[in-house]
Chain A
Amino acid sequence: MTAGSTLSLMQATAPSAPAAAVRVSGLRGGYGGAPAIEGVDLALPEGARVGLLGPNGGGKTTLLRALLGELPDVGGELTVEGRLGVVPQTERSRLDFPVSALDVALMGTLSRLPWWRRPSRADRRAALAALERVGLRAEARRTFGELSGGQRQRVLVARALVQDARVLLLDEPFSGLDDPSTRLLESLFGDLAAEGRTLLISTHEIDQARGWDLVLCLNRAQIAFGPPDAVLTRDVLERTYGANVVELPGGGRGVMPPHHCG
Protein backbone atom coordinates (compact mmCIF):
# COMPACT_ATOMS: atom_id res chain seq x y z
CA MET A 1 0.00 0.00 0.00
CA THR A 2 2.83 2.43 0.69
CA ALA A 3 5.23 0.65 -1.64
CA GLY A 4 7.74 2.87 -3.34
CA SER A 5 6.81 5.97 -1.45
CA THR A 6 9.63 7.97 0.02
CA LEU A 7 8.08 9.19 3.19
CA SER A 8 9.97 11.10 5.74
CA LEU A 9 10.09 9.23 8.99
CA MET A 10 7.77 11.50 10.92
CA GLN A 11 5.21 11.85 8.19
CA ALA A 12 2.36 9.45 8.55
CA THR A 13 0.96 8.61 5.13
CA ALA A 14 1.20 9.77 1.58
CA PRO A 15 -1.70 11.99 0.46
CA SER A 16 -3.09 9.20 -1.73
CA ALA A 17 -3.11 6.63 1.09
CA PRO A 18 -6.36 5.11 2.40
CA ALA A 19 -8.32 6.99 5.05
CA ALA A 20 -6.79 6.96 8.50
CA ALA A 21 -8.52 4.77 11.05
CA VAL A 22 -6.50 6.21 13.92
CA ARG A 23 -5.02 9.68 14.02
CA VAL A 24 -2.88 10.89 16.88
CA SER A 25 -0.97 14.09 17.29
CA GLY A 26 1.17 15.37 20.12
CA LEU A 27 0.00 12.49 22.30
CA ARG A 28 1.47 12.28 25.75
CA GLY A 29 0.38 9.92 28.49
CA GLY A 30 1.28 8.53 31.87
CA TYR A 31 0.10 7.38 35.24
CA GLY A 32 0.15 10.58 37.22
CA GLY A 33 3.89 11.22 37.47
CA ALA A 34 6.23 12.02 34.59
CA PRO A 35 4.72 11.03 31.24
CA ALA A 36 5.49 7.43 30.25
CA ILE A 37 5.18 8.32 26.55
CA GLU A 38 5.30 11.62 24.70
CA GLY A 39 5.56 13.14 21.27
CA VAL A 40 3.49 10.46 19.55
CA ASP A 41 2.31 11.60 16.09
CA LEU A 42 0.85 9.06 13.74
CA ALA A 43 -1.93 8.11 11.39
CA LEU A 44 -2.81 4.45 10.95
CA PRO A 45 -4.47 3.80 7.59
CA GLU A 46 -7.30 1.32 7.16
CA GLY A 47 -6.07 -2.14 6.28
CA ALA A 48 -2.56 -1.61 7.64
CA ARG A 49 -0.59 -3.89 9.91
CA VAL A 50 1.50 -1.66 12.10
CA GLY A 51 4.35 -2.99 14.20
CA LEU A 52 4.89 -1.35 17.58
CA LEU A 53 8.51 -1.77 18.66
CA GLY A 54 10.19 -0.71 21.86
CA PRO A 55 12.23 -1.95 24.79
CA ASN A 56 10.72 -3.30 27.99
CA GLY A 57 9.11 -0.36 29.73
CA GLY A 58 9.31 1.66 26.51
CA GLY A 59 5.62 2.46 26.65
CA LYS A 60 4.04 0.02 24.17
CA THR A 61 1.26 -1.09 26.51
CA THR A 62 0.86 2.50 27.68
CA LEU A 63 0.24 3.68 24.10
CA LEU A 64 -2.39 0.98 23.58
CA ARG A 65 -4.09 2.04 26.80
CA ALA A 66 -3.98 5.67 25.72
CA LEU A 67 -5.74 4.74 22.47
CA LEU A 68 -8.37 2.88 24.50
CA GLY A 69 -8.94 5.96 26.64
CA GLU A 70 -7.93 4.06 29.76
CA LEU A 71 -4.90 6.05 30.77
CA PRO A 72 -5.32 8.16 33.91
CA ASP A 73 -3.35 11.02 32.40
CA VAL A 74 -3.33 11.87 28.66
CA GLY A 75 -2.80 14.95 26.57
CA GLY A 76 -2.79 15.68 22.85
CA GLU A 77 -5.21 14.83 20.08
CA LEU A 78 -6.65 11.46 19.29
CA THR A 79 -9.32 10.36 16.84
CA VAL A 80 -10.39 6.81 16.16
CA GLU A 81 -12.75 5.81 13.33
CA GLY A 82 -14.84 2.77 14.16
CA ARG A 83 -14.76 0.43 17.08
CA LEU A 84 -11.53 -0.47 18.87
CA GLY A 85 -10.93 -4.05 19.90
CA VAL A 86 -8.22 -5.11 22.26
CA VAL A 87 -6.32 -8.38 22.34
CA PRO A 88 -4.50 -8.32 25.67
CA GLN A 89 -1.55 -10.40 26.74
CA THR A 90 -3.21 -13.67 27.75
CA GLU A 91 -1.28 -13.93 30.99
CA ARG A 92 -3.54 -11.18 32.22
CA SER A 93 -6.66 -13.31 32.04
CA ARG A 94 -7.41 -15.95 34.62
CA LEU A 95 -6.70 -19.38 33.27
CA ASP A 96 -8.65 -21.10 36.03
CA PHE A 97 -11.79 -19.14 35.17
CA PRO A 98 -14.77 -21.32 34.21
CA VAL A 99 -15.34 -20.07 30.66
CA SER A 100 -15.26 -21.84 27.32
CA ALA A 101 -13.79 -20.40 24.12
CA LEU A 102 -17.35 -19.63 23.06
CA ASP A 103 -18.06 -17.79 26.33
CA VAL A 104 -15.03 -15.58 25.74
CA ALA A 105 -15.99 -14.86 22.12
CA LEU A 106 -19.52 -14.00 23.30
CA MET A 107 -18.08 -11.31 25.59
CA GLY A 108 -17.64 -9.35 22.39
CA THR A 109 -21.41 -8.80 22.27
CA LEU A 110 -21.50 -6.87 25.58
CA SER A 111 -20.74 -3.48 24.11
CA ARG A 112 -23.40 -3.85 21.42
CA LEU A 113 -26.28 -5.03 23.60
CA PRO A 114 -28.33 -2.91 26.01
CA TRP A 115 -27.32 -3.76 29.58
CA TRP A 116 -30.38 -5.83 30.38
CA ARG A 117 -30.24 -8.01 27.25
CA ARG A 118 -28.59 -11.39 27.11
CA PRO A 119 -26.89 -12.65 23.95
CA SER A 120 -29.43 -14.01 21.45
CA ARG A 121 -29.22 -17.04 19.18
CA ALA A 122 -27.93 -14.76 16.45
CA ASP A 123 -25.20 -13.50 18.78
CA ARG A 124 -24.16 -17.08 19.49
CA ARG A 125 -24.03 -17.80 15.78
CA ALA A 126 -21.88 -14.71 15.26
CA ALA A 127 -19.53 -15.85 18.03
CA LEU A 128 -19.27 -19.33 16.51
CA ALA A 129 -18.62 -17.79 13.10
CA ALA A 130 -15.83 -15.68 14.59
CA LEU A 131 -14.29 -18.79 16.14
CA GLU A 132 -14.57 -20.50 12.77
CA ARG A 133 -12.83 -17.51 11.24
CA VAL A 134 -9.83 -17.96 13.55
CA GLY A 135 -9.81 -21.72 13.00
CA LEU A 136 -11.21 -22.70 16.37
CA ARG A 137 -14.78 -23.76 15.61
CA ALA A 138 -14.01 -27.26 16.88
CA GLU A 139 -12.65 -25.91 20.18
CA ALA A 140 -15.69 -23.74 20.97
CA ARG A 141 -16.67 -25.80 24.01
CA ARG A 142 -13.20 -26.24 25.44
CA THR A 143 -12.20 -24.36 28.56
CA PHE A 144 -10.17 -21.25 27.76
CA GLY A 145 -7.42 -22.16 30.22
CA GLU A 146 -6.94 -25.56 28.56
CA LEU A 147 -6.16 -24.11 25.14
CA SER A 148 -2.62 -23.55 23.91
CA GLY A 149 -1.16 -20.06 24.04
CA GLY A 150 -1.70 -19.52 20.32
CA GLN A 151 -5.26 -20.77 20.51
CA ARG A 152 -5.97 -18.40 23.39
CA GLN A 153 -4.67 -15.48 21.34
CA ARG A 154 -6.95 -16.48 18.49
CA VAL A 155 -9.96 -16.75 20.82
CA LEU A 156 -9.27 -13.17 21.93
CA VAL A 157 -9.01 -12.11 18.28
CA ALA A 158 -12.40 -13.79 17.75
CA ARG A 159 -13.77 -11.74 20.64
CA ALA A 160 -12.59 -8.56 18.91
CA LEU A 161 -14.22 -9.76 15.68
CA VAL A 162 -17.53 -10.30 17.50
CA GLN A 163 -17.21 -6.69 18.70
CA ASP A 164 -16.83 -5.89 15.02
CA ALA A 165 -13.70 -3.95 15.84
CA ARG A 166 -12.27 -2.02 12.87
CA VAL A 167 -9.06 -1.35 14.74
CA LEU A 168 -7.38 -4.14 16.70
CA LEU A 169 -4.81 -3.39 19.36
CA LEU A 170 -2.68 -6.46 20.02
CA ASP A 171 -0.25 -6.52 22.92
CA GLU A 172 2.64 -8.90 22.23
CA PRO A 173 0.39 -11.53 20.66
CA PHE A 174 3.38 -13.64 19.59
CA SER A 175 5.18 -13.87 22.89
CA GLY A 176 5.54 -17.46 23.98
CA LEU A 177 4.15 -18.98 20.78
CA ASP A 178 5.84 -21.80 18.87
CA ASP A 179 6.55 -21.48 15.13
CA PRO A 180 3.38 -23.11 13.78
CA SER A 181 1.19 -20.98 16.05
CA THR A 182 3.10 -17.87 15.05
CA ARG A 183 2.56 -18.61 11.34
CA LEU A 184 -1.15 -19.25 11.90
CA LEU A 185 -1.55 -15.96 13.73
CA GLU A 186 0.52 -14.10 11.12
CA SER A 187 -1.67 -15.33 8.30
CA LEU A 188 -4.81 -14.48 10.27
CA PHE A 189 -3.50 -10.92 10.68
CA GLY A 190 -2.89 -10.77 6.93
CA ASP A 191 -6.51 -11.80 6.27
CA LEU A 192 -7.89 -9.26 8.72
CA ALA A 193 -5.84 -6.44 7.21
CA ALA A 194 -7.03 -7.48 3.74
CA GLU A 195 -10.59 -6.91 4.99
CA GLY A 196 -9.68 -3.32 5.76
CA ARG A 197 -9.13 -3.72 9.48
CA THR A 198 -6.23 -1.87 11.06
CA LEU A 199 -3.91 -3.82 13.34
CA LEU A 200 -1.50 -2.25 15.79
CA ILE A 201 0.73 -5.08 17.00
CA SER A 202 3.31 -4.66 19.72
CA THR A 203 6.22 -7.05 19.37
CA HIS A 204 9.83 -7.67 20.28
CA GLU A 205 10.63 -9.30 16.92
CA ILE A 206 12.06 -6.67 14.59
CA ASP A 207 12.28 -8.98 11.60
CA GLN A 208 8.63 -9.86 11.93
CA ALA A 209 7.66 -6.19 11.78
CA ARG A 210 9.66 -5.90 8.55
CA GLY A 211 6.91 -7.87 6.82
CA TRP A 212 4.19 -5.41 7.85
CA ASP A 213 3.09 -2.09 6.39
CA LEU A 214 4.26 0.41 8.97
CA VAL A 215 6.44 0.47 12.04
CA LEU A 216 6.36 2.67 15.12
CA CYS A 217 9.44 2.78 17.33
CA LEU A 218 8.76 3.92 20.85
CA ASN A 219 11.16 4.49 23.71
CA ARG A 220 9.34 6.78 26.15
CA ALA A 221 9.02 9.14 23.21
CA GLN A 222 8.29 8.35 19.58
CA ILE A 223 11.59 7.60 17.83
CA ALA A 224 10.29 6.99 14.33
CA PHE A 225 7.17 6.08 12.38
CA GLY A 226 6.86 4.98 8.77
CA PRO A 227 7.34 2.04 6.39
CA PRO A 228 9.73 -0.60 7.75
CA ASP A 229 12.44 -0.07 5.14
CA ALA A 230 12.69 3.59 5.99
CA VAL A 231 12.35 3.23 9.74
CA LEU A 232 14.34 0.17 10.67
CA THR A 233 17.79 1.66 10.32
CA ARG A 234 20.64 1.00 12.69
CA ASP A 235 20.42 4.53 14.05
CA VAL A 236 16.71 4.32 14.84
CA LEU A 237 17.07 0.88 16.37
CA GLU A 238 19.89 2.04 18.59
CA ARG A 239 17.88 5.00 19.77
CA THR A 240 14.95 2.66 20.39
CA TYR A 241 16.71 -0.12 22.19
CA GLY A 242 19.92 1.49 23.40
CA ALA A 243 23.17 0.04 22.09
CA ASN A 244 22.00 -3.57 22.19
CA VAL A 245 21.35 -3.98 18.49
CA VAL A 246 23.40 -6.80 17.00
CA GLU A 247 23.96 -7.93 13.42
CA LEU A 248 22.28 -11.26 12.78
CA PRO A 249 24.00 -13.89 10.66
CA GLY A 250 21.20 -13.73 8.09
CA GLY A 251 21.94 -10.09 7.39
CA GLY A 252 18.96 -8.74 9.35
CA ARG A 253 19.26 -6.83 12.55
CA GLY A 254 18.28 -8.39 15.81
CA VAL A 255 17.92 -6.96 19.20
CA MET A 256 18.47 -8.23 22.67
CA PRO A 257 16.12 -6.41 24.96
CA PRO A 258 17.56 -6.74 28.45
CA HIS A 259 14.69 -8.65 30.03
CA HIS A 260 13.39 -10.47 27.04
CA CYS A 261 14.32 -13.91 25.86
CA GLY A 262 13.07 -15.45 22.66
Chain B
Amino acid sequence: MLEWLVDPFSDPLLRRAALEVVLLGVTGGLLGCWIVYYELAFGAESLAHALFPGLVAAALLGVPILLGGAAGIVVAALAVAVAARAPSIGRDTAVAVVVTTLLGAGVLLALSQAAPPGLGELLFGDVLGVSDGDLLLAGALALVVVAALRVLHGRLLAVGFDRSTARSIGASPVLVDAALLVLLALAILVAVQGLGNLLVVAVLVGPAATARLLAHRMPAMMAWSVGAAMLAGIGGLLVSYHAGTAAGASIALVTVGLWALASAARRALPSVVA
Protein backbone atom coordinates (compact mmCIF):
# COMPACT_ATOMS: atom_id res chain seq x y z
CA MET B 1 0.00 0.00 0.00
CA LEU B 2 2.69 2.43 1.05
CA GLU B 3 4.65 1.55 -2.06
CA TRP B 4 1.58 2.17 -4.17
CA LEU B 5 1.48 5.66 -2.71
CA VAL B 6 5.18 6.47 -2.62
CA ASP B 7 6.85 4.63 -5.49
CA PRO B 8 5.44 6.76 -8.30
CA PHE B 9 7.05 9.83 -6.82
CA SER B 10 10.55 8.46 -7.24
CA ASP B 11 10.02 9.63 -10.81
CA PRO B 12 11.07 13.30 -11.01
CA LEU B 13 8.40 13.90 -13.64
CA LEU B 14 5.73 12.92 -11.17
CA ARG B 15 7.30 14.93 -8.39
CA ARG B 16 7.09 18.04 -10.51
CA ALA B 17 3.54 17.22 -11.47
CA ALA B 18 2.70 16.80 -7.77
CA LEU B 19 4.16 20.20 -6.97
CA GLU B 20 2.16 21.75 -9.81
CA VAL B 21 -1.16 20.25 -8.68
CA VAL B 22 -0.49 21.23 -5.06
CA LEU B 23 0.20 24.84 -6.08
CA LEU B 24 -2.82 24.95 -8.36
CA GLY B 25 -4.79 23.28 -5.58
CA VAL B 26 -4.07 26.18 -3.25
CA THR B 27 -5.16 28.68 -5.90
CA GLY B 28 -8.17 26.76 -7.14
CA GLY B 29 -9.31 25.66 -3.70
CA LEU B 30 -9.28 29.18 -2.27
CA LEU B 31 -10.63 31.01 -5.29
CA GLY B 32 -13.27 28.33 -5.83
CA CYS B 33 -14.90 29.13 -2.49
CA TRP B 34 -15.77 32.59 -3.76
CA ILE B 35 -16.59 31.38 -7.26
CA VAL B 36 -19.33 29.08 -5.99
CA TYR B 37 -20.93 31.77 -3.83
CA TYR B 38 -20.61 34.49 -6.45
CA GLU B 39 -22.17 32.15 -9.01
CA LEU B 40 -19.21 32.56 -11.32
CA ALA B 41 -18.87 28.91 -12.35
CA PHE B 42 -20.42 29.67 -15.74
CA GLY B 43 -18.18 32.71 -16.10
CA ALA B 44 -15.12 30.62 -15.26
CA GLU B 45 -16.03 28.02 -17.84
CA SER B 46 -16.70 30.73 -20.44
CA LEU B 47 -13.35 32.36 -19.82
CA ALA B 48 -11.50 29.07 -20.05
CA HIS B 49 -13.10 28.17 -23.38
CA ALA B 50 -12.97 31.63 -24.84
CA LEU B 51 -9.23 31.91 -24.52
CA PHE B 52 -8.77 28.68 -26.51
CA PRO B 53 -8.11 30.27 -29.93
CA GLY B 54 -5.44 32.37 -28.24
CA LEU B 55 -3.72 29.20 -27.03
CA VAL B 56 -3.89 27.59 -30.45
CA ALA B 57 -2.61 30.71 -32.19
CA ALA B 58 0.27 30.93 -29.74
CA ALA B 59 1.14 27.28 -30.35
CA LEU B 60 1.04 27.83 -34.12
CA LEU B 61 3.15 30.96 -33.97
CA GLY B 62 5.58 29.48 -31.49
CA VAL B 63 5.10 32.27 -28.93
CA PRO B 64 4.60 31.47 -25.21
CA ILE B 65 1.20 29.90 -24.53
CA LEU B 66 0.68 32.35 -21.66
CA LEU B 67 0.84 35.27 -24.07
CA GLY B 68 -1.69 33.66 -26.38
CA GLY B 69 -4.04 32.95 -23.50
CA ALA B 70 -3.83 36.52 -22.25
CA ALA B 71 -4.56 37.87 -25.72
CA GLY B 72 -7.40 35.35 -26.00
CA ILE B 73 -9.02 36.59 -22.79
CA VAL B 74 -8.83 40.22 -23.89
CA VAL B 75 -10.36 39.41 -27.29
CA ALA B 76 -13.09 37.34 -25.63
CA ALA B 77 -13.92 40.11 -23.17
CA LEU B 78 -14.20 42.65 -25.99
CA ALA B 79 -16.33 40.30 -28.08
CA VAL B 80 -18.70 39.71 -25.17
CA ALA B 81 -18.93 43.44 -24.47
CA VAL B 82 -19.81 44.14 -28.10
CA ALA B 83 -22.24 41.22 -28.45
CA ALA B 84 -24.03 42.13 -25.24
CA ARG B 85 -24.77 45.58 -26.67
CA ALA B 86 -26.66 44.15 -29.61
CA PRO B 87 -30.33 44.85 -28.93
CA SER B 88 -32.60 41.86 -28.30
CA ILE B 89 -29.73 39.57 -27.30
CA GLY B 90 -29.56 38.84 -23.59
CA ARG B 91 -26.22 38.99 -21.81
CA ASP B 92 -26.11 35.27 -21.14
CA THR B 93 -26.93 34.48 -24.73
CA ALA B 94 -24.25 36.88 -25.93
CA VAL B 95 -21.66 35.19 -23.72
CA ALA B 96 -22.73 31.73 -24.85
CA VAL B 97 -22.60 32.66 -28.53
CA VAL B 98 -19.19 34.32 -28.27
CA VAL B 99 -17.71 31.49 -26.23
CA THR B 100 -18.95 28.69 -28.47
CA THR B 101 -17.80 30.58 -31.54
CA LEU B 102 -14.35 31.11 -30.06
CA LEU B 103 -13.95 27.51 -28.91
CA GLY B 104 -15.04 26.26 -32.33
CA ALA B 105 -12.71 28.71 -34.07
CA GLY B 106 -9.85 27.46 -31.93
CA VAL B 107 -10.51 23.83 -32.81
CA LEU B 108 -10.82 24.65 -36.54
CA LEU B 109 -7.61 26.64 -36.39
CA ALA B 110 -5.82 23.74 -34.78
CA LEU B 111 -7.20 21.14 -37.18
CA SER B 112 -6.52 23.24 -40.27
CA GLN B 113 -2.83 22.56 -39.91
CA ALA B 114 -1.09 19.67 -41.53
CA ALA B 115 0.51 18.99 -38.16
CA PRO B 116 -1.97 20.07 -35.48
CA PRO B 117 -0.18 21.72 -32.57
CA GLY B 118 -0.92 19.36 -29.68
CA LEU B 119 -4.67 19.89 -29.66
CA GLY B 120 -5.10 17.23 -27.00
CA GLU B 121 -2.54 18.91 -24.80
CA LEU B 122 -4.27 22.26 -25.06
CA LEU B 123 -7.66 20.76 -24.31
CA PHE B 124 -6.67 18.34 -21.60
CA GLY B 125 -3.39 19.73 -20.36
CA ASP B 126 -0.08 18.04 -19.82
CA VAL B 127 0.58 18.13 -16.12
CA LEU B 128 3.42 15.59 -16.47
CA GLY B 129 5.21 17.91 -18.83
CA VAL B 130 5.35 21.07 -16.68
CA SER B 131 8.49 23.15 -17.02
CA ASP B 132 10.36 25.02 -14.31
CA GLY B 133 8.77 28.16 -15.67
CA ASP B 134 5.29 26.68 -15.26
CA LEU B 135 6.05 25.74 -11.65
CA LEU B 136 7.40 29.18 -10.89
CA LEU B 137 4.32 30.75 -12.42
CA ALA B 138 1.98 28.48 -10.46
CA GLY B 139 3.86 29.39 -7.27
CA ALA B 140 3.66 33.10 -7.99
CA LEU B 141 -0.04 32.78 -8.77
CA ALA B 142 -0.69 30.96 -5.50
CA LEU B 143 1.09 33.76 -3.62
CA VAL B 144 -0.85 36.49 -5.40
CA VAL B 145 -4.17 34.75 -4.85
CA VAL B 146 -3.51 34.08 -1.15
CA ALA B 147 -2.46 37.68 -0.56
CA ALA B 148 -5.32 39.21 -2.55
CA LEU B 149 -7.99 37.03 -0.96
CA ARG B 150 -6.61 37.83 2.48
CA VAL B 151 -6.88 41.55 1.88
CA LEU B 152 -10.29 41.28 0.21
CA HIS B 153 -11.76 38.77 2.66
CA GLY B 154 -14.04 41.12 4.59
CA ARG B 155 -15.36 42.80 1.46
CA LEU B 156 -15.92 39.53 -0.36
CA LEU B 157 -17.90 38.31 2.63
CA ALA B 158 -19.97 41.50 2.85
CA VAL B 159 -20.86 41.57 -0.85
CA GLY B 160 -21.56 37.85 -1.02
CA PHE B 161 -23.72 38.04 2.09
CA ASP B 162 -25.94 40.88 0.93
CA ARG B 163 -25.08 42.67 -2.29
CA SER B 164 -27.87 45.22 -1.89
CA THR B 165 -26.55 46.75 1.34
CA ALA B 166 -22.83 46.08 0.86
CA ARG B 167 -22.18 49.62 -0.36
CA SER B 168 -23.76 51.17 2.71
CA ILE B 169 -21.33 49.28 4.94
CA GLY B 170 -18.31 50.21 2.88
CA ALA B 171 -17.85 47.40 0.35
CA SER B 172 -18.33 48.26 -3.31
CA PRO B 173 -19.87 45.32 -5.19
CA VAL B 174 -18.48 46.60 -8.50
CA LEU B 175 -14.89 46.73 -7.24
CA VAL B 176 -15.17 43.42 -5.43
CA ASP B 177 -16.60 41.71 -8.52
CA ALA B 178 -13.90 43.21 -10.71
CA ALA B 179 -11.12 42.08 -8.36
CA LEU B 180 -12.54 38.57 -8.22
CA LEU B 181 -12.84 38.39 -12.01
CA VAL B 182 -9.25 39.54 -12.47
CA LEU B 183 -8.03 36.85 -10.05
CA LEU B 184 -10.19 34.30 -11.83
CA ALA B 185 -8.79 35.25 -15.24
CA LEU B 186 -5.22 35.03 -13.91
CA ALA B 187 -5.89 31.65 -12.33
CA ILE B 188 -7.41 30.24 -15.51
CA LEU B 189 -4.56 31.61 -17.58
CA VAL B 190 -1.98 29.85 -15.43
CA ALA B 191 -3.89 26.67 -14.64
CA VAL B 192 -4.93 26.04 -18.21
CA GLN B 193 -1.35 25.10 -19.10
CA GLY B 194 -1.17 22.23 -16.65
CA LEU B 195 -4.77 21.13 -16.64
CA GLY B 196 -5.99 22.01 -20.10
CA ASN B 197 -8.86 23.99 -21.39
CA LEU B 198 -11.63 21.56 -20.50
CA LEU B 199 -10.51 20.45 -17.04
CA VAL B 200 -9.47 23.73 -15.46
CA VAL B 201 -13.02 24.43 -14.33
CA ALA B 202 -13.21 21.09 -12.52
CA VAL B 203 -10.29 22.17 -10.35
CA LEU B 204 -11.62 25.70 -9.83
CA VAL B 205 -15.13 24.68 -8.83
CA GLY B 206 -15.10 21.03 -7.75
CA PRO B 207 -13.15 21.21 -4.48
CA ALA B 208 -15.11 24.26 -3.30
CA ALA B 209 -18.39 22.53 -4.11
CA THR B 210 -17.20 19.63 -1.95
CA ALA B 211 -16.12 21.95 0.88
CA ARG B 212 -19.45 23.75 0.81
CA LEU B 213 -21.07 20.51 1.91
CA LEU B 214 -18.79 20.17 4.91
CA ALA B 215 -18.25 23.63 6.42
CA HIS B 216 -20.29 26.38 8.04
CA ARG B 217 -17.81 29.22 7.94
CA MET B 218 -15.64 30.58 5.18
CA PRO B 219 -12.24 29.86 6.79
CA ALA B 220 -13.21 26.24 7.44
CA MET B 221 -14.62 25.94 3.95
CA MET B 222 -11.36 27.23 2.51
CA ALA B 223 -9.37 24.68 4.48
CA TRP B 224 -11.58 21.81 3.28
CA SER B 225 -11.47 23.13 -0.26
CA VAL B 226 -7.68 23.38 -0.46
CA GLY B 227 -7.42 19.95 1.16
CA ALA B 228 -9.83 18.45 -1.34
CA ALA B 229 -8.03 20.10 -4.26
CA MET B 230 -4.63 18.75 -3.15
CA LEU B 231 -6.03 15.31 -2.43
CA ALA B 232 -7.69 15.17 -5.84
CA GLY B 233 -4.49 16.38 -7.51
CA ILE B 234 -2.19 13.84 -5.86
CA GLY B 235 -4.83 11.10 -5.96
CA GLY B 236 -5.43 11.74 -9.64
CA LEU B 237 -1.71 11.48 -10.39
CA LEU B 238 -1.54 8.16 -8.55
CA VAL B 239 -4.55 6.79 -10.39
CA SER B 240 -3.10 7.92 -13.69
CA TYR B 241 0.25 6.31 -12.86
CA HIS B 242 -1.16 2.95 -11.83
CA ALA B 243 -4.07 2.71 -14.22
CA GLY B 244 -2.31 4.31 -17.15
CA THR B 245 -5.06 6.92 -17.61
CA ALA B 246 -4.59 10.54 -18.66
CA ALA B 247 -3.40 12.65 -15.72
CA GLY B 248 -5.75 15.62 -16.16
CA ALA B 249 -8.82 13.46 -16.62
CA SER B 250 -7.86 11.32 -13.60
CA ILE B 251 -7.59 14.44 -11.43
CA ALA B 252 -11.01 15.59 -12.58
CA LEU B 253 -12.39 12.13 -11.84
CA VAL B 254 -11.04 12.09 -8.27
CA THR B 255 -12.35 15.63 -7.78
CA VAL B 256 -15.85 14.50 -8.68
CA GLY B 257 -15.39 11.36 -6.56
CA LEU B 258 -14.57 13.46 -3.48
CA TRP B 259 -17.66 15.56 -4.08
CA ALA B 260 -19.82 12.43 -4.30
CA LEU B 261 -18.23 11.14 -1.08
CA ALA B 262 -18.96 14.42 0.73
CA SER B 263 -22.56 14.39 -0.49
CA ALA B 264 -23.01 10.86 0.75
CA ALA B 265 -21.40 11.71 4.10
CA ARG B 266 -23.66 14.69 4.51
CA ARG B 267 -26.71 12.60 3.78
CA ALA B 268 -25.63 9.77 6.08
CA LEU B 269 -24.50 11.93 9.01
CA PRO B 270 -26.44 15.19 8.73
CA SER B 271 -25.85 16.09 12.36
CA VAL B 272 -22.09 15.51 12.31
CA VAL B 273 -21.30 17.07 8.96
CA ALA B 274 -22.91 20.44 8.30
Contacts and interface: CB of A to CB of B under 8 A. Distances in A.
Interface of A: 68, 70, 84-86, 88, 92-94, 97-100, 103-104, 106-113, 115-116, 118-119, 143-144, 159, 163
A221 B209 CA distance: 48
B157 A107 contact: yes
A70 B169 CA distance: 12
Contacts of B150: 118
Nearest to A108: B169
Contacts of A113: 154
A35 to B, nearest CB: 21
Q: Which 5 residue pairs are nearest across A and B when measured between Cβ atoms?
A: A111-B170, A93-B162, A110-B170, A86-B168, A88-B165
B198 to A, nearest CB: 29
Contacts of A119: 154
A110 B217 contact: no
Interface string B202-227: 00000000001001111011000000
Given A107-B169, A116-B151, A88 B216 contact: no
B170 A99 contact: no
B153 A118 contact: yes
A68 B165 CA distance: 10
Contact of B162 (A68, A92, A103): A92
Contact of A68 (B154, B160, B161, B168): B168
Contacts of A100: 216-217
A109 B161 CA distance: 15
A104 B221 CA distance: 17
B155 interface: yes
Contacts of B164: 88, 92
30 contacts: A68-B167, A68-B168, A70-B167, A70-B168, A85-B168, A93-B161, A93-B162, A94-B37, A94-B160, A94-B161, A94-B162, A97-B160, A97-B161, A98-B37, A98-B215, A99-B157, A99-B217, A100-B217, A103-B217, A103-B218, A106-B154, A107-B154, A107-B171, A110-B154, A110-B158, A111-B170, A118-B150, A118-B151, A119-B154, A143-B216
Given A92-B164, A118-B151, A119-B154, 14 more contacts: A68-B167, A88-B165, A92-B165, A98-B212, A98-B215, A99-B217, A104-B161, A107-B171, A110-B170, A110-B171, A113-B154, A115-B155, A144-B161, A163-B169
A163 B161 CA distance: 17
- Which size bracket describes the interface of B in this complex? 20 to 34
A191 B155 CA distance: 30
Nearest to B221: A98
A84 B153 CA distance: 23
A65 to B, nearest CB: 9
Given A84-B168, A88-B165, A111-B169, A98 B154 contact: no
Which of the listed residues A99, A108, A112, A119 has the most CB atoms from chain B within 10 Å of its own CB? A99
Contact of B154 (A93, A94, A118, A159): A118
Given A93-B162, A107-B154, A98 B169 contact: no
B162 A88 contact: yes
Contacts of B37: 94, 97-98
Contact of B169 (A103, A116, A118, A159): A159
Contacts of B168: 68, 70, 84-86
A116 to B, nearest CB: 6
Nearest to A107: B158
Contacts of A88: 162, 164-165
A144 B161 CA distance: 10
B182 to A, nearest CB: 16
Which of the listed residues B37, B155, B160, B216 has the most CB atoms from chain A within 10 Å of its own CB? B216
Contacts of A104: 161
Contacts of A112: 170
B151 A115 contact: yes
Which of the listed residues B165, B170, B212, B215 has the most CB atoms from chain A within 10 Å of its own CB? B165
Contacts of B154: 106-107, 109-110, 113, 118-119
B218 A99 contact: yes
A100 B150 CA distance: 18
Nearest to B155: A110
Contacts of A103: 157, 217-218
A190 B37 CA distance: 37
Contacts of B171: 107, 110
Contacts of A111: 169-170
A139 to B, nearest CB: 13
Contacts of A70: 167-168
Interface in B148-186: 150-151, 153-155, 157-158, 160-162, 164-165, 167-171
